[in-house]
Chains A and B, each alone.
Chain A
Amino acid sequence: MSSKKKKKLTPTQQKYQAFAKTREPKRPVVTNAIKAFLVGGIICTFGQGLQWFFIRYFNFTEVTAGNPTVAILIIISVLLTGFGVYDHIAQWAGAGTAVPVTGFANTVASASIEHRSEGYVLGVGGNMFKLAGPVIAFGVFSGFAVALTKIIIEKLGGI
C-alpha cells in the first residue's frame, strides 16, 4: 500500500493548487447528472419494454424474463462497442451508460477488442476482465456478505 496517500503538500504546492483551481473549467455536474438520468432512464425503460415483450409473447414469467432481457441489452452494447459508437454515446451520457448492464458489457468488450493485438490467450483472455474484474470480485463478495448477514439475523429470530 502506498504510504504517500496523505502526502503533505508544501505551502508552495498548496498555493499553486489554489491558483490553478480557479483557472480550470469545472465538470458540469448538474448537466451531467441530468443527461445520465435521461440516458440511464431510457435504457432501463427499453429493458422494461423487452421484459414485457418476453412475458407477453414467449411465455416467460416476471422472474425468468430477466435473462433474455439482459442478453439482448448486452448484445446491443457489445455491438455498439465494436462499431466504435459506444464510447461517443458514453462521453455525452456519462453514468447513464456506465451504470446499467450495458456499461458492464462495454468494459468487457472494449478490453477484449483492445488487447486482440496481443493474441487470444494473453491478450483477449488475460485482459477481458481488466475493468470488469473489480466489479465481479467485489460484487460477489458483497453478495456473500449480505447473504451471510441475512442468515445470521434470521437464525437469531429476526425478520
Chain B
Amino acid sequence: MIKGHQSWLFKSKPVLISSSAVGGPFEAKGPLADDFDVLHQDIWVGQDSFEKAEKKLLEDACETAIRKAKLKKEDIHFLLSGDLMNQIISSSFTARTLGVPYLGIFGACSSAMEGLALASLLVDSQNAEYTLAAASSHNLSAEKQYRYPTEYGAQKPPTAQWTVTGAGAAVVSKAGDGPYITSATIGRVVDMGLSDPFNMGAAMAPAAVATIEAHFKDLAVEPDYYDLIATGDLGKVGHRIATDLLTEHGLKIPSDKFTDCGLLIYGDNKQVFAGGSGCGCSATVTYGHLVNRMKKGEINRMLIIATGALLSPMSYQQKESIPCIAHAVSFEM
C-alpha cells in the first residue's frame, strides 16, 4: 500500500524467513567474519575468471538461503537479483543455474534493498508465496570493469573505497519466523554534480539523505523509532557528510544508532581507504551481521538504506557526473 509519496507499507507483514551471506578471503579477515555463512579462502572461488567467481558467490548465497529456509528451489516463485557487472551477468547466470522465474534488477550498490523491497511487495500483494532477493559484487571483477587492471600500479586517494567480494540473499515469505519487512521507501535519483569515481561516498550521501528524509516523512515516524539506521556503502567520507547533512536539515540521529555497512564490514582496516562498497556490502552486512543481531534480540527495528552510484565507465570518461540513488527497507522483529 502506498504511504506518503514514495513509500510502501506492507500491511501483511512479509517475513524474512532466511538469509545468507557469502564472502571472500579478505572479508574472512574482517570483524564480521563470524556472521558469514560461507567464506571462500580463494579469491577465484575455484573458477577461471573473476566474473565466474562472482557468479559462484551469488549461486552459493541463493542456495544457502533456500536451504536455511528448508525449502527447495522449486518453491521459490520469483528471484530478484542485481549486481554490478555489465548486463548484470552474475544475476542472470545465477538465475540460469537456479531455474527460478527471474527479474533482473540494476540499482548499482542499492540493488540489495531494491530487490528486497520488490520481493516483499510481491509477497505482500499476494502475487508470490516465496520470493528470493539477492545481490553480489566481487572486488576484482568490479575493479576490472570500472577502474584499471587489478595489478596496475595506480595510487588511490584516501576517499576511495574497497568493493566487497561477497553475495547476500534473503527469502521472503508471507509467514514464518524472522524479522518482518514492514515498509520500504523507493529513492529518487539525486545528482549533486560530483564526478570523481574515487569519491563515491560524497556523491551518494545526498541520495541517502533524501531517502531517509522521505522515509520519515512518508511513514510519519521519528528517527528514534529505529534502534539502528544503516546506510549501504557511504564509507567514512559519505557517512560523515550524511550525518552533517541530516543534522543541518534538522533530523538528528544519535551517532550510536547511525552507521554504515561499509564501515562495519572491514572495521578500521587502512587498506580499504574510506570503507567497503559494492552490492555485496549492504547485502552481506544486512543479511549476515545485522539480521543475526535482530535474531539475538539486540535490535528490534532497523532501517537499511542501500546506496547506489549509477555511473558506467563510459559515462565517467564522457565527463558525466554521477547520478546516485538510495532505497530504504525497514525490518522489525
- Please give the residue numbers on chain A whose beta carbons come within 8 Å of chain B beta carbons, in ascending order: 2, 4-5, 7, 9-10, 12-14, 16-17, 19-20, 23-28, 32, 81-82, 84, 86-87, 89-91, 93-95, 97-98, 103, 106-107, 109-111, 113-115, 117, 130-131
> Would you call B151 and A113 a contact (CB within 8 A)?
yes
- Report B103 CB to chain A, min CB distance, Å: 28
Are the CB atoms of A90 and B244 closer together than 8 Å? no
Residues of B within 8 A of A19 (CB): 241, 244-245
Task: Give 29 A-B contacts (CB < 8 Å), ordered by A residue.
Answer: A4-B318, A7-B319, A13-B193, A19-B245, A20-B192, A20-B205, A20-B241, A24-B199, A24-B237, A25-B159, A87-B154, A89-B153, A90-B153, A91-B155, A93-B155, A94-B155, A95-B155, A97-B153, A98-B153, A106-B151, A109-B151, A110-B148, A110-B151, A110-B152, A110-B153, A114-B150, A114-B151, A115-B149, A117-B49
* B237 and A87 contacting across the interface, CB-CB below 8 Å: no
In the bound complex, residues from chain A placing their C-beta under 8 Å from that of B245 are 19
Q: Which residues of B contact A81 (CB under 8 A)?
A: 151, 153
Which one of B48, B151, B154, B240 has the greatest number of beta carbons of chain A within 10 Å?
B151
Q: Whole-angstrom distance between the alpha carbons of A130 and B317 in the complex? A: 14
User: B192–A13 contact, CB under 8 A?
Assistant: yes
Contact A24 B202 (CB under 8 A): yes
Q: How far is it, in angstroms, between the C-alpha of A9 and the C-alpha of B191 when the chains are bound? A: 10
Interface of B with A (CB < 8 Å)?
Answer: 48-51, 144, 148-159, 191-194, 199, 202, 205-206, 236-237, 240-241, 244-245, 274, 318-321
With a cutoff of 8 Å between Cβ atoms, the chain A residues found around residue B51 in the complex are 117
A27–B274 CA distance with the chains assembled, in angstroms = 12
Question: In the complex, how many angstroms separate the beta carbon of A153 from the nearest chain B beta carbon?
Answer: 38
Which of A23, A25, A107 is packed against the most chain B CB atoms within 10 Å? A23
User: Residues of B contacting A90 with CB < 8 Å?
Assistant: 152-155
Query: In the assembled complex, which residues on chain A have CB atoms less than 8 Å from the CB atom of B192?
Result: 12-13, 16-17, 20
Instruction: State the CA gap A117–B44 with chains docked (Å).
Output: 12
- B2 CB to nearest A CB, Å: 28
CA distance A93 to B156 in the complex (A): 11
Query: A34 CB to closest chain B CB, in angstroms?
Result: 14
Q: Apart from A20-B194, A87-B152, A114-B144, what 17 extra A-B contacts exist at CB < 8 Å?
A: A9-B193, A12-B192, A14-B193, A19-B244, A23-B202, A23-B240, A24-B202, A25-B236, A27-B158, A98-B154, A98-B155, A106-B152, A106-B153, A110-B153, A113-B149, A117-B50, A131-B149
Q: Given the complex, which residues of B lie within 8 Å of A110, measured CB to CB?
A: 148-153
Residues of A within 8 Å of B149, CB to CB, are 110-111, 113-115, 130-131
Residues of B within 8 A of A115 (CB): 149
Neighbouring B residues of A86 by C-beta, 8 Å:
151, 153
Contact partners of A16 in chain B: CB under 8 A: 192-193, 206
A87 touches B318 (CB 8 A): no
B50 to chain A, nearest CB (A): 7
| Neighbouring B residues of A113 by C-beta, 8 Å | 149, 151
CA A24 – CA B238 in complex, angstroms?
A: 9
Chain A positions within 8 Å of B49 at CB level:
117
Closest chain A residue, CB of each to CB of B156: A91
Contacts of B320 in A (CB 8 A): 2, 4
Residues B159 and A24 in contact, CB atoms below 8 Å apart: yes
Q: B153 is contacted by which of A9, A10, A91 (Cβ under 8 Å)?
A: A91
Asked if A87 and B150 sit within 8 Å, CB to CB, the answer is yes
B318 lies within 8 A of A2 (CB): yes
Highest count of chain A CB atoms <10 Å: which of B153, B241, B319: B153
Residue of A nearest to B150 (CB): A114
Q: Within the complex, which residue of B152, B202, B236, B237 is in contact with A107, where a contact is CB–CB below 8 Å?
A: B152
A103 to B155, CA, bound (A): 12
Cα A25 to Cα B156 with chains together (Å): 12
Most chain A CB within a 10 A radius of its CB, from B50, B192, B245: B192
